[in-house]
Amino acid sequence: MPHADANSPTPLTIRLPDGRLLGLTRYGNPAHRAVVFHHGFGSSGLELAADAALLARLRLQILAPDRPGVGQSSVYRRLTFPSFADDVVAMLDALEIREPVGVMGWSVGGVHALALAARHPARVAAGQLLSTCLPLGEPAAYRHLSPLWKALRWGQVSFPWLNRTTFLWLSRQWQRHPDRTIDWFIRLMFPAEKTVTRRWRALLRDAAVQGFAHHGRGVFDDAQAWCRPPGFLIEDVRAPMRLWHGQADGVWAPGNIPYLAERLGGAPLRLLPGQGHMLYLENWAAILEEMAALLG
């Protein structure tokens, strides 16, 4: 592993028990309390703003693992929410982190955060779900999906070859023309997401380039896992959870987020007026301060 620098993000690679590699980015001082951040769909652990001073003040470190097929992480076609939760625990063991950690998840990363808390309750002290989604393959949650998300799930399940081809094409665009590709995505976004993505353009561009590594294989496998039965129960989460969601979220509308909060035992929910799917970037200091309080 490279020498850890508390003032800049540090790339690390862990050898998992089955021989696969797991890549991650560490933000902050490795001597501080650990928080695991689960990245969004089609992105990677590089999607976080590096704020060494804030992390030092709060005495936190962020560990942002890349899911299989993302960045330096090996492809694992049998990816499930429980299998990646197990990978994260193996990562914590390899880093000799025994104390229960905080967990965060942005977008579909929120479902991975829930899986970690449900499957390994002794390893999670508290969690935050940031612009999170629901598990598309759970019958109870499926009834709460919008018609658009039901259609997207149907397409992923019914025509996997078409989605595999699409993600392969997108991978080539991100690798060959990253600037042109992110500008194309920005033009397609809703206003709230467009504003924030323009502000954080370089960071999100580089995160997506790593997200679509391995010819887009990891993105496809992540989508497949999202559409299958999740393999855990939301009600099994015992750690205190906090939800953050934007009222102007153009990717995952907030209508079913109170339903998710209720399944988490009435977890506190912040609905932020005028903010969209990228709200974690705009509220990073407040989110970390809340996490530090939860862990404190």
Question: What is the per-residue pLDDT for 1?
Answer: 47
Question: What is the per-residue pLDDT for 8?
Answer: 81
Report the number of distinct structural domains present in the chain: 1
Whether 3 has a pLDDT exceeding 70, the answer reads no
Determine the 3-state secondary structure of 35 from DSSP. Answer: strand
One-letter amino acid at 203 equals: L
Question: What is the per-residue pLDDT for 5?
Answer: 59
| Average pLDDT for 82-91 | 98
Whether 52 has a pLDDT exceeding 90, the answer reads yes
Question: What is the per-residue pLDDT for 6?
Answer: 64
HSE-up of residue 121 (Cα within 13 Å, Cβ side) = 11
Question: H or E segment at 12?
Answer: strand 10-15
pLDDT digits 0-9 by tens, 178-213: 999 999 999 999 999 999 999 999 999 999 999 999
| Average pLDDT for 219-240 | 98
**Residue 15 falls inside a structural domain:** yes
Full-prediction pTM beyond 0.95?
yes
**Residue 3 falls inside a structural domain:** no
Whether 232 has a pLDDT exceeding 60, the answer reads yes
Question: What is the per-residue pLDDT for 57?
Answer: 98
Q: Find the CATH number of the domain harbouring 233.
A: 3.40.50.1820
> Average per-residue pLDDT in the chain?
97
Domain span at residue 72?
A: 10-295
| Rounded percentage of the chain residues whose pLDDT exceeds 70 | 98
**Residue 5 falls inside a structural domain:** no
**Residue 4 falls inside a structural domain:** no
**Residue 2 falls inside a structural domain:** no
Whether 7 has a pLDDT exceeding 90, the answer reads no
Place of tokens 């580089």: 206
In which band, very low, low, confident or very high, does the pLDDT at 106 lie, cut at 50, 70 and 90? very high
Contacts of 275 (CB under 8 A, 6+ apart): 192, 246, 247, 248, 249, 282, 283
Q: How far apart are CA 147 and CA 36, in angstroms?
A: 32
